[in-house]
């Protein structure tokens, strides 16, 4: 199968085009391909779990450096990243044939790609290996007409993402893929037995690049086998200081239950080796879970915001809270957080301190265990989070960050409470095949 849209045609500079416009108006699917895609979507969907292992096995065989230095090896072992990529293409195809906007899905993917330094030529690698896998699995069922239709879907999606990612690079004033920088550990605090907070600065006492509240950086470490693995960590302080702060939750190996989970390679390395003076590889900040990109406005007319998190998902929220505090933002802010117990609630004192400086803020905390003995922050509730019980501000924008299960539980609750879908903004660092 060959690309219907040559790669050179999608390598274009788009720094003068708004990011939202790039995502909102992809090239339309050829009319004669629409019924083919609509008819074959169920077949492709039914075979995704067969196609993706063949695809990744083939691609990593041809390009082992991608597994070693770019893809998350832990997620590959679990199969989550494999399903997420295939699901994103199927979801995009569905949006194309239904005439719906792909903005939210593509923004999340594009920011993640920019944080990894993805460049246009890598889309050709994915294309060639993915379509080889489709042919291997489905064989003669893939007629030339079906191949051409899905080829067009892929290159429309790739073209939009390349344009968007090039615009992100242009906005950061760097060449495509030139996002890797050096940072030095300035401070470290072990806040629980599994979470450490690390403060980073530039080399030789210099500043790190500024960022938007809610964004993240990819941290790269070289492991004992020589692999360079990258993971994303939210920046949990207000921008403008020249330093960054990240919260790193160590991911321990788990067996049994819902299935085995390997230990986190990067989080484990950081917990074991990151000390004051340690040099780390980081990327420029990216991420679309930011206040100023969500249409919330500013000043007295700014829309109220609901910052809703669980566990280590508090980190981007704290960055937003600190920014709102530092800028004397007058808007209504409702801060909702869920955790297993008070002793597992990281950065609780900072949330309490920063939120107390806000003009109109309310904090609610839910603990599965130990709520009776907890003194805050804010009003403490036992059990699982129930956002409808605290009274959501009218016209609020909701920002969500937490585990897959938490987001899957909370999104429908906010929708049921009357929050429109376009006002719900979510961040999830784990690969997924539902929030793509």
Residue partners of 6: CB distance under 8 A and separation at least 6 = none
Task: For residue 30, give the nearest of 113, 88, 93, 85 by alpha carbon.
Answer: 93
Q: Is 367 a catalytic residue?
A: no
DSSP H or E stretch at residue 367: strand 360-367
123 is catalytic: yes
Angle of CA points 20, 21, 26, to nearest 5° = 110
Q: Is the peptide bond before 46 cis (omega within 30 degrees of 0)?
A: no
Backbone angles phi and psi of 383, in degrees to 5 = 90, -155
- Choosing from 123, 216, 233, 367, which is the catalytic residue? 123
How distant, in Å, are the alpha carbons of 32, 110, 182, 369 from that of 282? 45, 18, 6, 36
How many residues in total does the chain contain? Answer: 436
**152, 154, 165, 233: which one is catalytic?**
165
- Per the listing, tokens 């920088």 go with 181
* 283 phi and psi angles, rounded to 5 deg: -115, 160
Distance CA 45, CA 377 (A): 45
Closest CA to 401 of 347, 349, 357: 347
Q: What are phi and psi of 33, to 5 degrees?
A: -90, -15
Contact by Cβ (8 Å): 208, 181: yes
End-to-end Cα distance, the chain: 26
What residues are annotated to the active site? 123, 165
């Amino acid at each position: 199968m060959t690309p219907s849209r040559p790669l050179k045609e999608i390598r274009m500079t788009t720094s003068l085009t708004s990011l939202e416009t790039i995502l909102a108006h992809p090239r339309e699917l050829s009319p004669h391909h629409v019924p083919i895609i609509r008819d074959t979507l169920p077949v492709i969907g039914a075979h995704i779990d067969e196609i993706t292992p063949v695809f990744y096995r083939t691609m990593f065989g041809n390009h082992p450096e991608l597994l070693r230095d770019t893809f998350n090896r832990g997620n590959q072992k679990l199969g989550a990243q494999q399903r997420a990529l295939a699901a994103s293409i199927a979801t995009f195809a569905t949006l194309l044939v239904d005439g719906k906007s792909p903005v939210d899905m593509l923004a999340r993917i594009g920011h993640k790609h920019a944080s990894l330094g993805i460049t246009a030529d890598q889309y050709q690698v994915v294309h060639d290996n993915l379509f080889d896998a489709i042919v291997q699995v489905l064989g003669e069922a893939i007629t030339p007409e079906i191949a051409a239709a899905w080829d067009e879907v892929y290159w429309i999606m790739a073209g939009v993402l390349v344009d968007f990612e090039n615009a992100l690079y242009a906005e950061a004033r760097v060449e495509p893929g030139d996002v890797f920088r050096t940072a030095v550990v300035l401070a470290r605090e072990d806040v629980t037995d599994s979470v450490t907070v690390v403060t980073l600065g530039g080399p030789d006492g210099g500043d790190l690049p500024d960022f938007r509240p809610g964004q993240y950086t990819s941290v790269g470490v070289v492991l004992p086998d020589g692999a360079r693995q990258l993971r994303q960590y939210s920046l949990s302080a207000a921008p403008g200081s020249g330093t960054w702060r990240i919260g790193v939750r160590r991911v321990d190996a788990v067996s049994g239950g819902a299935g085995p989970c390997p230990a986190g390679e990067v989080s484990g390395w950081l917990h074991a080796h990151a000390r004051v003076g340690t040099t780390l590889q980081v990327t420029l900040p990216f991420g679309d879970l930011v206040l100023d990109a969500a249409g919330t406005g500013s000043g007295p007319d700014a829309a109220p915001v609901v910052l809703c998190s669980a566990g280590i998902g508090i980190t981007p929220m704290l960055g937003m809270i600190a920014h709102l505090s530092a800028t004397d933002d007058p808007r209504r802010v409702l801060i909702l957080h869920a955790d297993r117990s008070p002793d597992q609630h990281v950065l609780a004192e900072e949330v309490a301190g920063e939120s107390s400086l806000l003009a109109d803020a309310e904090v609610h905390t839910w603990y599965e265990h130990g709520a009776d003995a907890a003194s805050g922050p804010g009003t403490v509730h036992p059990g699982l989070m129930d956002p409808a019980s605290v009274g959501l501000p009218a016209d609020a924008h909701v920002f969500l960050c937490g585990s897959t299960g938490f987001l899957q539980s909370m999104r429908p609750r906010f929708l049921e409470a009357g929050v429109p879908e376009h006002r719900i903004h979510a961040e999830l660092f784990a690969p997924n095949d539902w929030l793509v």
